[in-house]
């Protein structure tokens, strides 16, 4: 089956090996007999609700975010339609910030967001950098860990009642204070973890693919994958997780 991916602003939001995340999705889909069809959705290009099973937004510095923010705000209604129709979304770092209501940069630049996630971000004076480890539970009873690298000045505040992606075991997370990282709303996931994210966390790649397949088949039931021989992926995760633990827990 073809899984259709819309990659938003790949020419601007692609500074943290974001294309590596797409490569992981493509290979893991291929190993299970599916094919990833990736369409770039750039500036001033239309976003067609229902055309994609998964939308991906990568990371960028403030300059690149400022360039695309207005265009993303113009796409906001179509983005909301796509999400309401069941499309999955992964947004990383700068893309995560712009999926909220807005981001205020270090010099006071106001960048409108798409309003897909219930959060706002304001840049702080000190960057939060280093390995990070999260405890997550995207499916009831399935406790997992996410390991990655964070490098952001933004302090992201979730609305009351919003669901974080995970609890910080080691690292800073959304704001260095709350003890939480990222945000999850249904099939939409936003996070500061990059490095890239999916090669170190194969289970999250599979989760996104199953959510995308559920959209592709218009099914209320999400398919389950048989495990792959992920020895190398598990080792990459373990090394990253240990680096974060060695850094020391903050919460």
Place of tokens 């973890």: 193
What count of other Cβ atoms lies within 10 Å of the Cβ of residue 65?
A: 25
CATH number reported for the structural domain that contains residue 85 in this entry: 3.40.50.880
Q: What is the pLDDT of residue 107?
A: 87
What percent of the chain shows pLDDT beyond 70?
Answer: 98
Q: What is the dihedral of CA 85, 98, 68, 216, to 10 degrees?
A: -20
Q: What is the pLDDT of residue 18?
A: 75
Q: What is the pLDDT of residue 71?
A: 96
pLDDT tens digit string along 59-113?
Answer: 988 999 999 999 999 999 999 999 999 999 999 999 999 999 999 998 899 999 9
CA–CA gap between residue 79 and residue 76 (Å, rounded) = 5
Please check the confidence at residue 251 and state whether its pLDDT lies above 80.
no
- What positions carry a catalytic annotation? 93, 194
What count of other Cβ atoms lies within 10 Å of the Cβ of residue 155?
A: 19
Q: Which residues contact 215 (CB under 8 A, 6 or more apart)?
A: 53, 54, 85, 86, 87, 88, 187
pLDDT tens digit string along 9-37?
Answer: 999 998 876 789 999 999 999 999 999 99
The two three-digit tokens of residue 233, written as one number: 């992926």
**Mean pLDDT for the chain?**
95
Provide the domain limits for residue 134: 2-247
Please provide the size of the chain in residues: 251
Single pTM value for the model? 0.96
State the pairing for strand pair 119-139/142-158.
antiparallel
Q: What is the pLDDT of residue 39?
A: 97
Q: What is the pLDDT of residue 247?
A: 82
Q: Which residues contact 116 (CB under 8 A, 6 or more apart)?
A: 76, 79, 80, 83, 89, 99, 100, 185, 188
How many domains does the chain divide into? 1
Q: What is the pLDDT of residue 14?
A: 87
Alpha helices in 5-122 (DSSP H): 18-31, 62-74, 76-84, 94-99
Q: At what angle do helices 202-216 and 18-31 cross, to 10 degrees?
A: 70
Q: What is the pLDDT of residue 250?
A: 62
pLDDT tens digit string along 220-248?
Answer: 899 999 999 999 999 999 999 999 999 87
- In whole angstroms, how large is the CA radius of gyration of the chain? 17
What percent of the chain shows pLDDT beyond 90?
Answer: 91
Q: What is the pLDDT of residue 182?
A: 98
């Amino acid at each position: 089956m073809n899984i259709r991916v819309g990659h938003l602003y790949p020419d601007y939001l692609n500074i943290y090996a974001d294309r590596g995340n797409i490569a992981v999705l493509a290979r893991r889909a291929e190993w299970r007999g599916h094919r990833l069809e990736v369409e770039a959705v750039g500036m001033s290009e239309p976003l067609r609700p229902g055309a994609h099973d998964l939308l991906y937004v990568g990371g960028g510095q403030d300059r690149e975010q400022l360039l695309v923010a207005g265009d993303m705000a113009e796409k906001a209604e179509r983005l909301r339609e796509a999400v309401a129709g069941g499309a999955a979304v992964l947004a990383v770092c700068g893309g995560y910030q712009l999926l909220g209501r807005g981001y205020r940069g270090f010099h006071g630049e106001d960048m409108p967001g798409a309003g897909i996630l219930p959060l706002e971000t304001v840049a702080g004076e000190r960057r939060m950098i280093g390995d990070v480890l999260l405890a997550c539970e995207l499916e009831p009873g399935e406790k997992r860990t996410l390991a990655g690298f964070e490098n952001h000045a933004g302090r992201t505040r979730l609305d009351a009642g919003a669901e974080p992606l995970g609890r910080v075991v080691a690292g800073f997370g959304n704001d260095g204070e709350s003890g939480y990282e990222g945000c999850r709303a249904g099939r939409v996931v936003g996070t500061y973890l990059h490095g890239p994210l999916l090669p170190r966390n194969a289970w999250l790649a599979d989760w996104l693919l199953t959510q995308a397949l559920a959209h592709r088949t218009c099914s209320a039931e999400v398919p389950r994958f048989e495990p792959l021989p992920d020895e190398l992926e598990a080792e990459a995760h373990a090394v990253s997780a240990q680096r974060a633990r060695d850094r020391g827990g903050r919460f």
